[in-house]
Structure 1
Amino acid sequence: MNIKKRSPRIRLLLLSFFTLLSGLSVHAQTSDFQLLENFNNDFHRISTEIDQVIDMGALREIELEISSFESRYSDHRTLITAALYPVTFEERVNSLRDRIMVKNQSLSVVDQLNSRIEGLIAETDLFRSRINQLNSEISTLQQNIERSSASESRQAALIRQYRQNLESRDLFVADFLEELINRYQNMDSAERSELSVAADRLQDNPVEILKSIISDYIELSNNRSGLSLPDYVSMRAQHGYFSDVWSRIGEQLTRTFETERSRQARTEIDNMLAAWLASVDNNVWSLLQQEFYDRSIRLSPFTNSSELNRSLHEYIDAAYEISLESNREEDYGKYRNFSDFWNTTVKANWGDLIIAGNILTHSDIAAVDVKLSSWGEAAAPISNLMFILLIVSIAVIVGLVVLLVTRKS
């Protein structure tokens, strides 16, 4: 009887017990689910932070956050590993650290690139400032030369200073070109790509600076104030060096700093170099012809190196033939005039520039020297004394012959 009376109570207790166990199980499952969800959310949040970080300081903070992340979930590694299978808790944490290492290398490259760009910006600013200063000084000297025509001594001093400034600018530009060669000639695709990204940050990139330099030289060549033949020959040599540098690094520079219009940029500079040479040559050949003319040396017209070389040989060959036929004092004077100008001015004063400027080669000059020597031998007049002695000798011989014939008779 007692058992029957207690049966409903026991069933109620058992039901309550199982309900409690069920609730505890559901609560445990809910807690595990929340833990895994929090773990995944934290993992993805840290991954996003790694992707978006842009400086080394923030990256260091993320490294500390990864350590905290690992510590926070390490007591639940078994549960997390089971949920992530086949990936383990340790592998997931280490993947974050691996990404930190990759990002660290990437940011280091960016820092180095920024340093290079800042240095390049400083260098281009310095170059632009210096070239502007030199151009300003040259322009001022040009104006002063034009105003000082009344005073020959002052004008001569200004012209000397003007040429010194031109030489200073040429040396400065040559140093700049040499720096470009050293920096960009052997640049690999990775370096070129890095600099291309930063090209927009440069107010004056190297390609634009080269255009500016060539433009200045063209303007200088077209403005003949204070310039003489050696100045233009020197400018022609500078053009040759400039063209050589451009042929070696032009493609690298335009592909780096003019990425979207590299071919057009190369064509623009090629055309500017051609215009510069045309302007220089227009002055070189006319002034050189005038130099010979002023010394009464009438060469046939020439507009390039081969024509100049041909004119020199034609002039000497014609004079040589005349000297062989007549051997007059006038012919020898013509030889002396040409020889003096050729040796004391063309070779002694202009020789290095003429070769550097591709006006004549060493072989061309040597060939003229050989013909000039033959001309000198043919043009040298026979001495009057020698002529008299020759006549006397002939007379003596004739007299002796007559005497011998008379005695035999």
Structure 2
Amino acid sequence: MKRLLNLVTILAIVISGSATLLAQQSDYQIKKKFENRYSELLSNIEMAQKVSEIDSIIIVIDDFRSNYSEHSEMLDYALYPESFNSKIASLKSEARSSEHKLLIIENQAERLSMLTEEVSRFKGELANLNARSDSLRNEIAHSQQSEKQLSELVTRYRKSVEQRDRFIFDMVDSLFVTYNQLAPGTIEELSKKDGSGTIKASDNPLEIIDSILDENIETLKAGSKSFTTEDYLRIYALQTKVNEVWDNIGDNLIQIYGGKDKSKWKKSIDSDLKEWKASSSLSMWKSLDIYLEDRDLELGAFDNNTSFFMALDSFVSKASKKSDGEIISSSSYEDFKTFSEFWSSKVLDDWNNYIVDADVLTSSQIASIDGKVDTWGDKSEPFPTSLLIIFGIALIAIIGLITALIIK
């Protein structure tokens, strides 16, 4: 009997130990399966390419949580210092972050798809405008027409170039709005499109920018006798705009559309931008100097924003000071009217947008000169002739009165 009791005790211990071991093995297996499924879901989130895929994964995460919720206490212990809820929350956080990124990319891709269609249209319209301008330019170069007919031809050419420039202003604005706001990661994703990082030439913004630069450099070389100062200011403002946009989005465009020729594209466009800037700057400042000389406004030498402002400031300040000693003379006032006509009708009106956009003069510089021009005007305006006559008569009368008193 005693031996039987000992045997039963041993069996009970063995069964109890086996149950404990089985329970431990079961908890371990549950933990292992949980971790494997967690890693699988995390990998699925990282590999997702569409927002719809993330939405499906979020539903799977909810099912994953439901399936293991009954083991949450055990998993809290097994996963310490993390917990069952923190692991689920981490998955959802990763899913939401990925969804946000993919949503931005999909929106950008949609915008870029629309822009691609626009780019094709841009290229077609720009080609037409360039062809029209080139045709008129060639016609002018080989024209045997009368002076009047040639003048009309030059006017048509100038209008054609102006129309093209305004189109380019609008186009680069469209490029800037689209490519300047690309989210982190979007550029890399787009550059991998179709596995090549390139698109057909007709849809490539780099091709259009290259065309704009080549055509404008050629226009400046051939248009010296056709353009006015306002034309040169507009062209200078345009190149300033294109340079600013390129500084902001050029790297993005090359990364997305440069394909295997990224370095070649960057070198080519940077070089053409530099040439266009130098050419348009030289032409604009030279034309502005000639315009002022033709109106007998000798400001002195200038070839940039600083020297132009200093020349204007010095000219107006000296003229204003000179007016202090010429109360009766009208020569100073004639000088003022000549300058005022240029300042009011051109700087403050016809040319103002181009002058400010191209930083020929800043708004604060214009305001400073404008105040001094007003002061000059007040000082230089001579007394009206009628007042001088009255003053003269009064002076004669006073002298006559004094003389009469002395005689008496």
- Class of the TM-score when normalised by the shorter of the 2 chains: 0.5 to 0.7
2:180 is the alignment partner of 1:185: yes
Q: Matches of residues 5-404 of structure 1 in structure 2 within 5 Å?
A: 124-148=119-143, 150-187=145-182, 188-195=186-193, 197-204=195-202, 205-224=204-223, 225-260=225-260, 262=262, 265-327=265-327, 328-394=329-395, 396-397=397-398
Kindly provide the CA deviation profile for residues 275-323 of structure 1, in whole angstroms up to 9, marking residues without a partner as x.
Answer: 1111111111111111111111111011012211111121122222222
CA contact (8 A) 2:232 2:287 kept: no
Q: CA deviation at 1:261?
A: 5.2
Distance in 2 of aligned mates of 1:373 and 1:115? 54
CA contact (8 A) 2:109 2:190 kept: no
Kindly provide the CA deviation profile for residues 234-263 of structure 1, in whole angstroms up to 9, marking residues without a partner as x.
Answer: 111211221222122111111122255545
Task: Give the direction of change, closer, same or farther, for the CA distance of 1:388–1:190 in structure 2 (3 Å limit).
Answer: closer
Distance in 2 of aligned mates of 1:369 and 1:291? 20
Distance in 1 of aligned mates of 2:201 and 2:251? 20
Letter in 1 for 2:319: A
Letter in 1 for 2:247: S
In the alignment, what sits opposite 1:25? none
Distance in 2 of aligned mates of 1:113 and 1:313? 49
Letter in 1 for 2:352: G
Distance in 1 of aligned mates of 2:147 and 2:259? 53
Percent identity, aligned pairs only, is: 26
Mark the structure with the bigger radius of gyration: 1
CA contact (8 A) 1:239 1:277 kept: yes
How many residues are matched? 296
Is there any run of 5+ residues in structure 1 with no aligned partner, and where?
1-111
Distance in 1 of aligned mates of 2:199 and 2:317? 63
Distance in 2 of aligned mates of 1:332 and 1:223? 40
In the alignment, what sits opposite 1:41? none
RMSD: 3.3
Letter in 2 for 1:361: T
Task: Give the direction of change, closer, same or farther, for the CA distance of 1:175–1:383 in structure 2 (3 Å limit).
Answer: closer
Distance in 2 of aligned mates of 1:117 and 1:195? 12
CA contact (8 A) 1:233 1:354 kept: yes
Distance in 1 of aligned mates of 2:374 and 2:144? 42
In the alignment, what sits opposite 1:14? none
Q: CA deviation at 1:270?
A: 2.7
Range moving further from structure 2, 230-239 or 348-357? 348-357
Is there any run of 5+ residues in structure 2 with no aligned partner, and where?
1-106
CA contact (8 A) 1:117 1:198 kept: no
